[in-house]
Amino acid sequence: MMTLRWRTNPFEALEHGVNRLLGDFNGRTTSPELAAAYPQVNIWEDEQNLYAEAELPGMQLDKIDVFVTENNQITIQGERQPEQMEGTWLRRERGYGKFGRAIELPYDVQADKVEARYEHGVLRLKLPKAEHVKPRRITVKSE
């Protein structure tokens, strides 16, 4: 069986350059084929609620926007300001600028009951599940 292999990818240099430019804000390695999304978001659940957390260090509250659309999608966007300090930068690793991300949730939530907190550089959301999504217990009767 003959295998066909590409010996050189003519776009390799371009991909590498673009991946570097779109690199991960938080310094974590991600798959090189994907441009990393910022912020990274964890989503988990219990019976009543969905929860989300995102690492967003160094933000001012009025520069973070959180939206819930269609009851099952959250959008986190904002802008991180660069440090206003005078001097010579010996090392510059942290990112700044505008960012935005839309994430689809696994269930519908009650948009008007969503709570959001920003503490210690972490944005935390509590999203109560919509009633029709919560498991309903059926009583089993017997004769």
Partner 1 sequence: MNSVTETNVRPQTETNGNRLYFSPRVDVLETGDALVFLADVPGAKPDQADVQFHNGELVIHCRCDQAEPRDYAQHAFDTGDYYRAFTINENVDPDHISAELKNGVLTVRVPKAEEAKPRKITVKSE
Q: Which residues bind partner 1 (CB under 8 A)?
A: 25-28, 40-46, 50-51, 55-59, 83, 85-95, 103, 105-106, 118, 120-122
Q: Residue 118 corresponds to which amino acid?
A: Y
DSSP 8-state assignment for residue 113:
G
- In the complex, least distance from residue 45 CB atom to partner 1, rounded to whole angstroms: 6
Phi/psi for 21 (5° steps) reads: -65, -40
Min dist CB 46 to partner 1, Å, is: 7
- Least gap, CB of 132 to partner 1 (angstroms): 18
Q: Enter the tokens of residue 71.
A: 């009851």
Asked whether the beta carbons of 64 and 71 are under 8 A apart, the reply is: no
In the complex, the smallest distance separating the C-beta of residue 127 from partner 1, rounded to whole angstroms, is 11
The secondary element (H helix, E strand) that includes residue 13 is helix 12-21
Q: Is 59 helix (H, G, I), strand (E, B) or coil?
A: coil
**Of residues 8 and 84, the one with the C-beta less far from partner 1:** 84
Closer to partner 1 by CB, 2 or 90: give it. Answer: 90
Asked whether 26 and 40 are in contact (CB, 8 A), the reply is yes
Judged by CB, which is closer to partner 1: 17, or 106? 106
CA distances 63 to 16, 22, 76, Å, are 31, 21, 11
Query: Based on CB atoms, which residue is closest to partner 1, 7 or 92?
Result: 92
Question: Least distance (Å) from partner 1 to the CB of residue 84?
Answer: 11
Q: Of the two residues 17 and 58, which places its CB atom closer to partner 1 in the complex?
A: 58
